[in-house]
Amino acid sequence: MLWQPASAAEAPTFEQALGALATASFKDKERAIGELIAVRHPNTRAALNALLEGNLYYRKSDQRVFIGTAQDSTLQLQDPVTLSPAGAADASEYSKITTNNQLRKTLKSALASFDLADPDARIRLAAVSEMLRSLDADSVSILRARESKEPDDTVRQAIRTGLAIADLDNENAAIRLTALEQLKGSLNPEVFNRLTAIVTPGDDGSYAEPDEKVRNAARVALASVERWRSWYGTLETLFFGMSLGSVLVLSAIGLAITFGVMGVINMAHGELMMLGAYTTYVVQLLMPQHIGASVLVAIPLAFIVAGGVGVLIERGIVRFLYGRPLETLLATFGVSLVLQQLVRDIFTANNRPVETPEWMAGSLQINEALSITYNRLYVVLFMLIVFAILQLVLNKTSLGLKVRAVAQNRAMAKSMGVRTEWVDALTFGLGSGIAGIAGVALSQLTNVGPNLGQSYIIDSFMVVVFGGVSNLWGTLIGGMSLGVLNQMLEPYAGAVLAKILVLIALILFIQRRPRGLFPQKGRAAEG
């Protein structure tokens, strides 16, 4: 337990309590820690945490205490009273304030107690979670004292979970049974570990829990915990499948447009995605102080870069090969190799780091068994926004009307005055631009390198064929379905076999529905 603080008349100041840590014995350091907490200085926690991490030093000449970060033979100093920088100094002029196991245990309890009084419920919850990892008599005492004072329901429930875990060590079997009833359905990892330890026999066949009734209750509680963990695990797998499906939709949606309108098998589509990813990398190089905004800036720039390259490909190569799909495939494959080599010449063959903005980092913790990473969540939302904008363009604009007219009946559209060659160029550019912004999304999920596009081109064609050529809703449903199916199979079959099984399922589906989920209508369908 922590030492009781001195009376008000004898209470030291924050600086005095810190100074007592410099050359005191471990027992006196424990007393000083109690006095530091009693002072309630705003920077007490920072000082105690520095001591726990081995970053608290005192100057040999005057025993003044500093927070220090070692860099070779120097210390970068910080004043613990103000937390302001105190310059750099020769490390030989300072001594580290040492701790032992008992003192570290005291510090952890002190920090937890300190955090449990914080006005922020998230900090209090994190403190309780940390205490549950290594419950001892002091921790249990602190939690019991805090339970009746805790105003937040979530934190209070976490405290009760910790107390129930502690009650599993009680000598009274009735108390252990009550604790197990309270822990039934809990998602806390420590609960799962304790229940597993109770029902698992040792090497000699004996159990840690001597009471058969308690062991049976533990088995029931563990079964309940496992059911909930399995349920939330399935939800997490579905989310990962949706995020993978969103990537497939983004990578395939531009391909669906160009393939549907012009019948062009564009093997350079993956390299256009690669250009979008490299655009993100270049924008971050130009905006090193504004990483958060760089991704937003990269989206329109990637669309322009990839779309512009797409228009050049269509005007320079593809327009001479309409009606010859095999030659178009070979020509665009050659373009893909040229683009890959161009990127290697400019950026080298090494992968390039693209930093994730702070607002996309971390995860949304739904509960102790389910968390959703922000970068994948933003990719799903981004895909839906791109899909909605594309639907508006194709259904509410003059360009969209002409694209649909050319897709359904090119000859009739041309006889009505539609410049089909420019519709082809703009459609190819639109599809290529969407590939570029798909590359922006991919840059936040995977490595950016010359071969980035090769990983997605086959999957993109699978989505297009499955959903139905030139049908955006088919691409959306097809991409999400394949993503979820692949993610559901991976835990059982492995990544490679899962892809093979998905491909086999797709082949069987195409045998029954050769034109996909949503068959194309018009000129291409008739052909």
pLDDT per position as a tens digit, 264-300: 788 898 899 999 999 999 999 998 888 889 999 999 9
Q: Who has greater pLDDT, 5 or 140?
A: 140
pLDDT for 337 equals 92
Residue 340: pLDDT over 50: yes
Structure tokens at 508: 């069987």
Its pTM stands at 0.74
DSSP character for 2? P
Task: Tell me the pLDDT tens digit for each residue of 404-454.
Answer: 777 677 778 878 888 878 888 888 898 899 999 999 998 888 889 898 888
Q: CA 243 to CA 313: how far, in whole Å? A: 30
Residue 351: pLDDT over 60: yes
What percent of the chain is modeled with pLDDT above 70?
A: 95
Q: Who has greater pLDDT, 236 or 12?
A: 236
Q: CA 304 to CA 247: how far, in whole Å? A: 20
Q: What is the DSSP string of 268-280?
A: THHHHHHHHHHHH
What percent of the chain is modeled with pLDDT above 90?
A: 16
Q: Where are the domains of the chain?
A: 14-102, 117-210, 243-455
Q: Give the pairing type, strands 65-71 and 85-90.
A: unpaired
Coil, strand, or helix at residue 43?
coil
Residue 172: pLDDT over 70: yes
pLDDT for 5 equals 42
Length of the chain counted residue by residue: 527
* β-bridge mates for residue 373, sequence order: 363
Q: CA 66 to CA 508: how far, in whole Å? A: 70
Q: For the residues 133-148, what does the mean pLDDT come to?
A: 82
Q: What is the DSSP string of 46-103?
A: HHHHHHHTT-EEEETTT--EEEEEEETTEEEEE-TTT--EEEEEEGGGEEE----HHH
Q: CA 499 to CA 510: how far, in whole Å? A: 16
Taking each helix axis from N to C end, the angle separating 472-493 and 457-467, rounded to the nearest 10 degrees, works out to 120
pLDDT for 470 equals 65
Those residues whose C-beta lies under 8 Å from the C-beta of residue 486, and which sit 6 or more positions away, are 241, 244, 498, 499, 502
Residue 7 contacts residue 37 (beta carbons within 8 Å): no
Task: Please name the amino acid found at residue 291.
Answer: I
Q: How confident is the model at residue 302 (pLDDT cuts 50, 70, 90)?
A: very high
Residue 224 contacts residue 184 (beta carbons within 8 Å): yes
